[in-house]
Amino acid sequence: MTEIRTKPLYHSVRIGKVELEGNLFLAPVAGYSDRAFRSICWDKGASFTYTEMISAEALSRGSEKTALLMRRAHNETAYGVQIFGGSPGVMEQAARIVREQAKPSLIDINAGCPVPKIVKSGAGSGLTRDPETLFTVTRAVVQAASPLPVTVKIRSGWDAANLTWKEAALAAIEAGAAAITLHPRTRAQGYEGKADWHLLTELTRVIRDKSGAVPVFGSGDVFSPEAAKAMLEQTGVDGVLFARGALGNPFIFRDTRELLETGAYAPMDSAEQIAAGLKELTLLIADTGERRACREMRKRFCAYVKGLPDAASLRNALVACETESDYRKLLK
């Protein structure tokens, strides 16, 4: 049955006391969503951005390298710092450090990471599997983060036989979470197979029926503006997170907004695509130095040139770029 929507598809969102102008977010993506890329996403219309997952353990040990990951970008008017960990005490300590040092708009708890080393310590999707611990961790983080809101990003469950998304979401809300994001794949699926959007529909229903309902955001297979529109229409989520779909294509935010508001969007301009990549490179150099940034940008540029004429030979040359001027000469 199709739901009758009273709101336009592109709309403002409220997470606790944080008011966001739109509902198109950059997902946490380890190895990509540093502040250089997040800044580009803001340029291109993102309504909100998440840092990649940051180790609560490392933060609480005072790791300076880890603390760098939570810095705000110059144009990032609203952002969330995502932390991961399985121990309520360590997560509480980390949340306090994030609140005091980074002063983000909110703190997000990673309850979805499928990496074995992470889940072994009870963190990541280990928390979706264990709603009781998720409750304790969320409550500890909510107390330490106050007055910042806390959001929780879960998976659908451990594997097909253990789908705990509903219990996990309800436990997080009970503990004070101000929004839930569901990536409807199991830990066992990793990033393979299709994300099960039906679970997003079910979760929005479950949460809307509760008193004190919080927004629900959807993640999974949002690779195009059309997919984002379909997710909003089909599932009733309040907002969508772009992950792999935004890599090399930060224009996806602007294009999606245009599609949602006007029914169409202009095709991507390749000069603008390259310019965005070069700007990201400059920002990354300022943060990490030229050598490291140039190496890091190799994989990112390969995504930027996707779809350009001669992309294959460009990619071969890109992976040999060592300096900013190598990139600029090649991409002129």
Ligand X SMILES: Cc1cc2nc3c(=O)[nH]c(=O)nc-3n(C[C@H](O)[C@H](O)[C@H](O)COP(=O)(O)O)c2cc1C
Residues that bind ligand X (CB under 6 A): 27-31, 52-53, 82, 110, 112-113, 153, 183, 191, 195, 219-222, 243-245
113 is catalytic: yes
For residue 272, count CB atoms less than 10 angstroms from its CB and return exposed for 0-12, middle for 13-18, buried for 19 or more: exposed
Would you say 52 or 280 has its CB closer to ligand X?
A: 52
Would you say 157 or 331 has its CB closer to ligand X?
A: 157
| Two tokens, residue 199 | 């679970």
Supply the minimum distance, in Å, between the C-beta of residue 28 and ligand X.
3
Q: Compute the distance between CA of residue 201 and CA of residue 86 in angstroms, rounded to an integer.
A: 28
Supply the minimum distance, in Å, between the C-beta of residue 289 and ligand X.
23
| Two tokens, residue 298 | 């190799």
Return the H-helix or E-strand segment holding 111. Answer: strand 106-111
Supply the minimum distance, in Å, between the C-beta of residue 55 and ligand X.
11
Q: Is residue 108 within 8 Å of residue 83, measured between CB atoms?
A: yes
| End-to-end CA separation in angstroms for the chain | 52
Q: Is residue 121 within 8 Å of residue 79, measured between CB atoms?
A: no
Point out the catalytic residue in the list 41, 113, 302, 321. Answer: 113
Q: Name 152's bridge partners.
A: 109, 180
**Counting every residue, how long is the chain?**
332
Cis peptide before 28 (omega within 30 of 0): no
Count of other CB atoms within 10 angstroms of residue 19: 11
Return the H-helix or E-strand segment holding 182. Answer: strand 179-186
Would you say 165 or 331 has its CB closer to ligand X?
A: 165
Would you say 232 or 331 has its CB closer to ligand X?
A: 232
Supply the minimum distance, in Å, between the C-beta of residue 109 and ligand X.
9
Would you say 187 or 257 has its CB closer to ligand X?
A: 187
Supply the minimum distance, in Å, between the C-beta of residue 1 and ligand X.
26
Query: Catalytic positions, please?
Result: 113
